Amino acid sequence: MILSDARIRQALRDRAIVIRPFRRACLGTNSYDVHLGPYLAVYDGPALDARRPNPTREFRIPREGFVLIPGQLYLGVTEEYTETHGFVPFLEGKSSVGRLGIDIHSTAGKGDEGFCNYWTLEMSVKLPVRIYAGMPVGQLIYFEISGRVDRSYAAKSSAKYREISRHPTPSRMYLNFAGSRRPSGARRRR
């Protein structure tokens, strides 16, 4: 079942859901609107490799906005930090964003119980679109869990996205391959 606004408010009071910053006006009937953070990143190489870390180039979205172009994958990040305990969060794009031809995630719309971080967005567009930091970009929907959770995402040693960051996090798929190690400095900031 999807949590209603009243259940989301109760979960916020109980700290089963944490949203920072929290804006009352962003709470919908059964969802919470999240906003685009100030950073975008693009991969540097001509081809990505699932077995290796892929360096990115990160930049701040200028005040006048930034035009996303078709054929380019952009990694964005939510302005909001979230925690979810005892529920499963889903991030979906807002309909107004979809009507501009912006996809905010390729495949990663479902979060895990115990996820505590900013959300990285895998953004792509159908047509060139100017976007702005702080614009509403998606909505979080929370689902009840049936049954006991034996191991929360926050407790999994194999969880690849536990390090809290206000910056877009590139794929860490390479950590799934045997013998891989976590390299330092896979991201380059500008």
> Is residue 110 very low, low, confident or very high in pLDDT (cuts 50, 70, 90)?
confident
Give a yes or no: residue 175 inside a domain. no
Question: Is there a domain that residue 116 lies in?
Answer: yes
Mean pLDDT of the chain: 91
Does 57 score more than 50 pLDDT?
Answer: yes
140 occurs within a structural domain: yes
130 compared with 111, residue with greater pLDDT? 130
CATH no. for residue 135?
2.70.40.10
Q: Does 86 map to a domain?
A: yes
How far is the C-alpha of 155 from the C-alpha of 170, rounded, in Å? 21
Strands (E), the chain: 17-20, 32-35, 39-43, 56-60, 66-68, 74-84, 87-93, 102-103, 116-125, 129-131, 136-144, 187-189
Q: Give me the pLDDT at residue 180, please.
A: 47
pLDDT of residue 163: 83
What b-and-e string marks burial along 12-31, b requiring 16 or more CB atoms within 10 Å of the CB? eeeebbebeeeeeebbeebb
Total domain count, the chain: 1
Domain presence at residue 152: no
Instruction: Give residue-wise pLDDT tens across range 61-74.
Output: 999 999 999 999 99
Instruction: Compare 109 and 47 and report the one with higher pLDDT.
Output: 47
- Report DSSP state, residue 83: E
Give me the mean pLDDT over the 91-108 stretch. 92
pLDDT above 60 (res 175): yes
**pLDDT tens digits along 121-168:** 999 999 999 999 999 999 999 999 988 888 888 777 777 888 889 999
Q: Is 153 a domain residue?
A: no
Q: Would you please indicate which residues are annotated as catalytic (active-site) residues?
A: 122
Instruction: Give domain status of residue 139, yes or no.
Output: yes
**Residue 46 covered by a domain:** yes
The residue segments making up the domain with residue 115 are 5-146+164-170
Question: What's the confidence (pLDDT) of residue 107?
Answer: 77
